[in-house]
Structure 1
Amino acid sequence: MGDRCQVDGSWKETDPQAGLGWYNFNMETGEKLLGTCNLWRGVSPLQTEVEALLWAMQCMLRHNKLVMVFETNLSDVVQMVSKPEEWPAFAVLLEEIDRCKRRFLSFSITHIPRTNNTKADKLAQSARALPTSVYYVNSVSPTWISEL
């Protein structure tokens, strides 16, 4: 129960931008918060997924949501957070994730099926596809997404 935050990144080799998306919901209160943004595409889809998690963590901390379960459909991200020393190429991002992680009163990250991560996926894909820069955090869906 409580707050959950699903995260996803959208990366395509032919696109100059990547998209990040997260969807936070509280199963007890029904409260929701969501975020979508785009940035210049990094070197891999995995990097984008890690950046999506980091951005979601930073946003949850800014909104004083200190007891959080993060969910991702990429098991590698869960492993990276659990054993960062095994992923030296991502050391800088993983160190920042660790700094954020220590600020939560309760933090966990779990793997969920892709079919259960559709909202974060839609937010990430929509941001990647936009022709302009976007940074959106709100409790209502952005106008360019028809339905979440």
Structure 2
Amino acid sequence: MGFVLLEADREILAGKKCKRKGISALQAEAEALGWALKEAGDCGFHILRLESDCQQLVNLLLKEEELSAIIAELDDIKALRSSFRNIEISFIPHSSNTHADSLSKEAHARGLCFADVNDLIHGRLAPRASLNEPV
């Protein structure tokens, strides 16, 4: 699996992970999306635009349908989505998703179970706290 988080077209967070063998491509896509949401939330982001090259997953999320084969992953994504102020999701062609795809291929080539997140936002300033905004 792989994901890239961009802010103003600049990479600020990237992750790659190799998981157990035998899961379907759709299940891997759903797990990767849930993982990206968790990492973005942990970094304090509240507004996201998600792009995936998995049309079936995008359709399931936009239509809020369920597929028994990935119901646990869809439930995780729905729970994580509720912690954001605004999330948009859209389909992008595989040819436009080369960076995340290359991270996924790197992870697969290792052949070991691991997770690696490259945090490029440590230099960002923390958002200013306000007494009028909920934490």
Equivalent residue in structure 2 for 1:93, among 73, 80, 92: 73
Partner of 1:13: none
Q: TM-score, normalised by structure 2?
A: 0.81
**Cα distance in 2 for residues equivalent to 1:74 and 1:132:** 24
The alignment partner of 1:40 has SS state of coil
**Larger strand proportion, structure 1 or 2?**
1
4+ runs deviating over 3 angstroms: none
Name the CA distance, whole Å, in 2 between partners of 1:118 and 1:86: 28
Task: Indicate the percent of aligned positions where both proteins have the same amino acid.
Answer: 29
Judging changes above 3 Å, is the alpha-carbon distance between structure 1 residues 137 and 56 closer, same or farther for their aligned structure 2 residues? same
* Structure number with higher relative contact order (C-alpha < 8 Å, ≥ 6 residues apart): 2
Following TM superposition, by how much is the alpha carbon of 1:138 offset from its aligned partner in structure 2, in angstroms? 1.3
CA RMSD of aligned residues (A): 1.6
Q: What TM-score do the two structures reach when normalised by structure 1?
A: 0.74
Residues 42 and 48, structure 1, Cα contact 8 Å, conserved in 2: no
| SS in structure 1 at match of 2:112 | coil
Q: Secondary structure at the match of 1:103?
A: coil
Cα deviation, residue 65, structure 1: 1.2
Structure 2 unaligned segments of length 5 or more: list them.
Answer: 121-135
Counterpart-to-counterpart distance in 2, 1:139 and 1:25? 12
Aligned-pair distance for 1:86?
A: 4.1
C-alpha displacement of 1:84: 3.8
Rg (Cα) greater in structure? 2
Structure 1 residue corresponding to 2:103, chosen from 114, 118, 123 = 123
Provide the aligned length of Structure 1 versus Structure 2.
120
Greater alpha carbon shift after TM alignment, 89-98 vs 55-64: 89-98
